[in-house]
Structure formats: C-alpha cells, structure tokens
C-alpha cells in the first residue's frame, strides 16, 4: 500500500519537472513565431484574391504588381463557350501605396495562432483600378453581348398532330441579364477572382415554363380536350363538320399559358358556314303566279347568321369538348331552310303587271290590281324580297309635301308599305308610270283590309 502511494507521488513530481522545463521552451517558440508574424501576414490571409499567407509586405506588393500585368478573368458560358478579359485590355493596376503596410500593422503579431483556425480574407477598397471605358468596350465584344449570336429563350410550346397536341421542348438560349452580369464582372475584377461561371451564377435569362412544368402539362391536357370537340352543322344538301383538324387553328396559348381563341379565324370559318345558311339579300329563283320563274335579288328577307353570337357559341362548345349537331346562331330567320326559304305564306307584287297576290299556307287569300311607286318622278318601288315589319291601323303617312291618313298600313321596306288609298279610283295598268305613289303599294280598301286581317309580321313580300 505504501509502495503504491510512493510511486504515484514520484510520477507526479516528474510531470511537474517536465512542465517546468517545457513551458519556457513553448513561450520562447511562441515569441519567436510572433516575431516572424510581426513582418509577415497571418497564415491563410488573402487580400482581394491575392494570397498573402506568411508573406511580407514587399512580397505582397510584388505579387500585386505581377498580377496587374498577368490577371485574366475567365468566363465560362453556356454550350461550352469560353471567353477571357485580360488585365491589359482593361488597363488593370493595383494602387496600393502604403495601404498594404497599414493593413499589416493592423494585425497583432501575438494573435497569430488564431489564424490557423480561421483564415481570413481582406477586401480593400480602391486598390484595384481599371479603365471603365475599356471594360465596357471589352464587355460589348463578348459573345453574350453580340446580338447576332444571342439566342432568345423560349418557353415550352405546343404542336398539333393527328394524335393531338405534343409539347415542344423549351429553348434555353444564351441571353444574359446585361446589367447584372456587368456589375458582377466588375465585382469579380475588384476581388481578384479569376473565374466567373455564368450558369452557376444564374446570369442567364431562362424560359419561364419548361416541358416539365405542371402548368405546361395542364395546358396540353386542356388543348387536347378542346380538339376532341366535334360540331356538325346540318343544312339542305349536306353538312359541315368542325373537329380538331380545324379547331386547333383557332387555339393559341398566351405568355401565361392561358388558352386563347383567335376570333378572326373563327369569324372566317363562320363566314364559310354562312354560305350554306345565309339567304339574306341573296338572289332567288321565284315561281310567280303567272307560271313563270324570275330571279329576285335584294331586300332584307332571309336567314342571317349572327357571326359574333355563333363564334361565342362555338367557344362554349369547344371549351366543353362537346360532340353536337347544331344550326348557327341567327340574327334573323326565314320561313324555311328549303331552297325556297320564302315558304308558302307571302305577298307577291308584280311591278310590271301592277298586280298583287297574297297566299297563306299555300292558298290564295286575295289578289287585285295596285299602284306602285311613280316612274315619272323617280319614286319606283324597289325590287327585292322583304320581311313585313309590322301592321298598323289608322296611320298617317307623311313625307315631303304630303300627309295622308290611311285605314291600314303594313310597312316592309323602311317607309314603304302596303296600304289602302280610298281617294285613288283607278288601279293597275299604266297608272304608276305618270301617277304613281311615293314608293308604297296603293291598294283598293277591300284588298288592303283583307291582307291586314290575315297577315303577320315577318311575312315575306316579294317585289319583282
């Protein structure tokens, strides 16, 4: 027991002796290293990108002078393009004067040991000088600044095929943010950096939407839904089918990937459909009561497609992906979709014969001689097929130099209409050549009233 205690005390005394001998040695070493760092920069120290670790002020000055002549900034660009900016191209130099010495004197040589654990970099303002004009000229010569070499970035887009829409991959291009890149090149030069990776630094202007963007995928789904629509227009003698092969021409995608409709193209399509439906103002073959067939054109009667309304109807159907049969959206309708859209109820006026017939549901209701617009005073009744606008009792017809009360009035072409005229005692024949109306159809009272009692608005009136 006593022997063990004695050994421990002996070992302890030996450790103390070693420590007493070692400590002065360590102090001497520490002071020696401190003296070294009194005229050398700390370990791991850098000044504006120049390695000053364990170097004297003179050595750092010399290295800065060398770098001012040999400095090169490498630019790593997209698609493997590499470019350089050299010191001599931009008039680069280091204006250090006494700044490096002052920086050295600011370091406490006795705290050198901490530099081994936390190396530092100093960025000194104003020591790096360059010619701003030369740098701008150099920048303008870079490939990223050459308009002929710049490829604009493009978002992912869409292409229609027989199997529907496919996504066209985006174009990354090589366009950069000029202002941002220039500012960062200046920063790199001032800091003494030797490489700028444009891709890593995100200096490129990239597409907003790529082929993997969910919004792109959603737009493709919607486009394909729209082009599955099938709208069939049926008309006398055939049909017109609108499907994806045509619909895709109407569709577009804006910068926010919203689906748009080209209404001009849709209007052009509706115009084509009009040819199968519109009869408004068109020339017609009309079978007369005299067993002849005449061609009648002009007037305001007939089928008239509401183009803007039909375009809106189409947009709704396409958005719904519908498969439907339909007729166009009409502004005005006629009696029938047959080749003879006049139907079997109409008023027929033969201007040469000065005779009127009124048919209702195919049966002759009444007929009789009339007087139409005067030829001698250029008031001839216009030819054409018109729709009766309305009918009115006890009207007063007014015009330049006259005011004429009538029992019944049935206008079909502006102020021109069918009415009675009790003051006129002769109808038919050649009266209209020298003593005609102001354009209206003057009728004996019984004829006018019979028509009035049996006719409705929109009934066709044929003048030929």
Pairing between β-strand 259-261 and β-strand 251-253 as defined by DSSP bridges: antiparallel
CB 255 within 8 A of CB 207: no
- CA atoms of 110 and 35, how far apart (whole Å): 8
H-assigned helices in 71-131: 87-90, 99-105
Active site residue 440: yes
Distance of alpha carbon 197 from alpha carbon 176, whole angstroms: 12
For 390, the 3-state DSSP assignment is: coil
Q: Are 165 and 158 in contact (CB under 8 A)?
A: yes
At 399, list the tokens. Answer: 């015009």
3-state secondary structure (DSSP) of residue 414: coil
Which two three-digit tokens encode residue 284?
């017609």
Task: Report whether 80 contacts 146 (CB < 8 A).
Answer: no
Active site residue 419: yes
> Distance between CA 433 and CA 378 in Å, rounded?
10
d(CA 404, CA 308): 42
The residue from 40, 248, 419, 438 that is catalytic is 419
Query: Which region, left, alpha or beta, applies to residue 412 given φ > 0 means left and ψ of -120 to 50 means alpha?
Result: alpha
The per-type count for the chain, helices as H runs and strands as E runs, is 12, 28
Give CA angle at 446 (443, 451), nearest 5°: 75
Computed over its alpha carbons, how large is the radius of gyration of the chain? 49
Catalytic residue among 138, 440, 443, 463: 440
Instruction: Compute φ and ψ for 76, nearest 5 degrees.
Output: -95, 115
Q: How far apart are CA 112 and CA 40, in angstroms?
A: 10
- Helix runs in 86-226, H state only: 87-90, 99-105, 132-140, 178-191, 214-226
Hey, which residues are catalytic here? Answer: 419, 440
């Amino acid at each position: 027991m006593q022997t063990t205690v004695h050994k421990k005390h002996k070992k302890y005394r030996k450790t103390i002796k070693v420590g007493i001998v070692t400590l002065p040695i360590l102090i001497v070493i520490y002071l020696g290293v401190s003296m070294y760092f009194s005229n050398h920069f700390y370990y791991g120290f850098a000044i504006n990108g120049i390695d000053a670790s364990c170097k004297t002020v003179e050595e750092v000055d010399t290295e800065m002078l060398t770098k001012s002549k040999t400095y090169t900034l490498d630019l790593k660009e997209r698609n493997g393009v590499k470019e350089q900016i050299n010191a001599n191209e931009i008039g680069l130099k280091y204006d250090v004067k006494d700044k490096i010495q002052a920086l050295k004197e600011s370091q406490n040589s006795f705290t050198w040991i901490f530099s081994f654990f936390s190396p530092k970099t100093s960025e000194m303002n104003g020591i790096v000088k360059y010619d701003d004009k030369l740098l701008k000229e150099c920048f303008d010569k870079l490939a990223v600044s050459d308009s002929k070499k710049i490829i604009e970035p493009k978002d992912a887009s869409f292409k229609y095929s027989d199997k529907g829409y496919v996504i066209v991959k985006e174009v990354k291009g090589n366009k950069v943010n000029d202002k941002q890149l220039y500012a960062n090149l200046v920063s790199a030069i001032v800091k003494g950096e030797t490489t700028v990776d444009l891709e890593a630094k995100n200096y490129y202007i990239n597409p907003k939407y790529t082929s993997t963007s969910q919004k792109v995928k959603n737009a493709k789904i919607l486009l394909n839904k729209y082009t599955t629509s099938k709208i069939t227009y049926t008309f006398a003698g055939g049909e017109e089918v609108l499907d994806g092969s045509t619909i895709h021409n109407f569709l577009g995608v804006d910068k926010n990937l919203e689906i748009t409709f080209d209404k001009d193209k849709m209007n052009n399509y509706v115009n084509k459909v009009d040819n199968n439906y519109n009869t408004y103002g068109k020339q017609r073959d009309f079978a007369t009561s005299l067993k002849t067939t005449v061609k009648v054109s002009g007037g305001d009667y007939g089928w008239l497609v509401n183009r803007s309304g039909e375009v809106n109807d189409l947009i709704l159907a396409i958005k719904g992906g519908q498969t439907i049969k339909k007729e166009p959206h009409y502004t005005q309708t006629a009696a029938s979709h047959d080749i003879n859209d006049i139907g079997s109820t109409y008023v027929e006026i033969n201007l040469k014969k000065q005779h009127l017939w009124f048919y209702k549901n195919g049966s002759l209701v009444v007929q009789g001689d009339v007087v139409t617009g005067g030829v001698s005073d250029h008031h001839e009744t216009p030819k054409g097929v018109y729709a009766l606008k309305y009918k009115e009792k006890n009207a007063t017809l007014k015009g330049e130099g006259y005011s004429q009360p009538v029992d019944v009035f049935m206008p079909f072409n502006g102020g021109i209409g069918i009415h009675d005229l009790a003051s006129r005692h002769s109808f038919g024949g050649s009266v209209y050549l020298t003593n005609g109306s102001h354009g209206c159809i003057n009728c004996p009272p019984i004829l006018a009233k019979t028509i009035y009692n049996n006719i409705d608005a929109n009934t066709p009136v044929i003048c030929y």
